[in-house]
Amino acid sequence: MPAAGKPSFTRAAEARAASPALATSDEPIDGRGLLGQLGSEVGTALSAALEQVTVIATTGKISRQGLRALREQIERARRAGIMGQQVERLARGRVVQSPERVDLTAVLREALQQHRRQAEALGIALRPSLAPAQVMADPALIVTLVETLLSWVFEHARSAAELRLELGGWPVRAGLACTFRHLSDEEVDRSLLVFGSAPLHTISWRLLEQAARTMELPLELTEDGVSARLVIEFPRTVNDPSEIASLRERGSAERQGINSKPLAGCHLLVVGARRETRALVRDAVRHMGLMLDYVNSVDEARQFCSGGLPHAILHESALGGERFERLRMDLLADGPKLVFIELAEEGRRLQTRQIGARQYSSIGRGAIIESLPAALMYELSRAH
């Protein structure tokens, strides 16, 4: 079984002492430096565009590749100018915020979907692992933060970028961690690494930094000259009380040193719309150290699992059928060891069902408290 560990964003403080390069949202922005940087980035892009125009004027011809390069440089200059204006607007402190409950997970998933083709064109594999998290924040600023984060990642990442959204600590808070390499192996071989070098601190970084400061979100950037790791914390996390209670129980268990439980750190997704089902499941596994998440439907389960697979899925039998079986087949293709347990509408027995070549446990609603822990122990031990 996987051992439960503290969420990655809680390790940010430890990185302060170990990392040679660190940026925090507490450091004021240098206005003159920002203006000089903006001029440099816009000037560099326009100079490259001018070179393309000169080639066209000289030869009287333009290739598709040349036209694409011209458009990219002009867009790069335009984007830098817009970001510079946004930084200045936020830095003046005149933005009127209207905090409300925002589904941060949904915002991230939507942004990742919208920019999927751009990432593919750049050769960047996005690897999200997104836990459910809701925060109190201004929706427009949250979108600005997420969009700017992706712009910054696309600007610097080589081959892959990992994005993890996790809940942890007490009081519970969400943490978004982004990790990527900004130098390829070939670039490392050719370069003399300089810790804390400026390339990461482009206009997109300045906007990201200022947006975090405006929303009072702690932000940490660590780098070693090859890889970068950014962590943004969301102190005003307002997840469902049942989820927060579960996290509090896990945190208490960790403090008491009882994470030797065999299922500590395993992740159970409950697919069911009934509140009584959630309450029964929560009571049944309260002592097992499991991480619990809840969704209401098959479609929500598919969306949830697109951000990362749990270790087990418990679903109400009423949600079974063709759509659920398609979901089961798709998820097993990605995670052959994924465990499925059915919650039957009636009965007080734990029994085994045969579906295709696999067997699954089925628990009667009246037997959840007594039988669910044993079924989870058996199925997860067998799978892993």
CA distances from 12 to 85, 199, 231, 269, 384 (A): 30, 22, 7, 28, 31
pLDDT value for 21? 37
pLDDT value for 383? 63
Question: What is the number of domains present in the chain?
Answer: 2
pLDDT value for 187? 54
* Positions in the chain short of pLDDT 70: 1-40, 42-46, 49, 81, 94, 184-198, 239-265, 355-357, 383-384
Cβ atoms of 104 and 110 within 8 Å: the answer is no
Strand 267-271 with 312-316, pairing: parallel
User: Which residue range(s) make up the domain with 326?
Assistant: 241-383
Whether 246 and 208 map to the same domain: the answer is no
Whether 217 and 103 map to the same domain: the answer is yes
Task: Note whether residue 86 is domain-resident.
Answer: no
Whether 283 and 361 map to the same domain: the answer is yes
pLDDT value for 259? 41
pLDDT value for 3? 41
- Kindly report the pTM of this predicted structure: 0.51
Whether 262 and 360 map to the same domain: the answer is yes
Whether 19 and 160 map to the same domain: the answer is yes
pLDDT value for 175? 94
Nearest to 272 by CA among 315, 327, 320, 326: 315
Task: Note whether residue 107 is domain-resident.
Answer: yes
- The C-alpha torsion from 330 through 332 and 338 to 344, rounded to 10°, is 70
pLDDT value for 174? 93
pLDDT value for 261? 52
Q: At how many degrees (to 10) do helices 64-91 and 31-59 cross? A: 160
pLDDT value for 248? 46
